[in-house]
Amino acid sequence: MSRSRFEIYLDLLLEIFQNSDFETIARNAKITPSAARDHLAFLASQGFVSTQIMDDKTIRYELSAKGYEALMAFLRLTNRKGPIFERNVNART
């Protein structure tokens, strides 16, 4: 059964909360690197994700405050268990 785009976005937000490495995010969200790149670019353009380019040219992903709020709202609505601890999230909007 295929997932909706919305479900993929939420899976990506959850993975970004737990990991910042692109390959790990894509693999754990169970999507191809190409699809992950496209979806992450969209999430970044909408303010849900922030990116940071490291010295070795790798890109690290982090949830923005907006992304964190969206993820927590989804987890509450679906009664899914969320991350055990709260993380300091940048106050970017």
CATH number of the domain encompassing residue 67: 1.10.10.10
- Angle between helices 65-78 and 5-18 in degrees, nearest 10: 110
pLDDT at 13: 94
Tally of structural domains, the chain: 1
pLDDT at 38: 96
pLDDT at 57: 81
pLDDT at 80: 65
pLDDT at 92: 42
Given a contact cutoff of 8 angstroms between Cβ atoms, the answer to whether 61 and 55 are in contact is no
Range of the domain at 68: 5-78
| pLDDT averaged per 10 residues in sequence order, the chain, 93 residues | 86 91 92 95 96 86 94 82 50 41
Rounded Cα–Cα distance for residues 43 and 78 (Å): 21
Query: Residue 92's closest CA among 51, 54, 41?
Result: 51
pLDDT at 56: 86
pLDDT at 25: 94
DSSP code of residue 3? P
Please indicate, yes or no, if residue 92 is contained in any of the structural domains. Answer: no
Whole-model pTM above 0.75?
A: yes
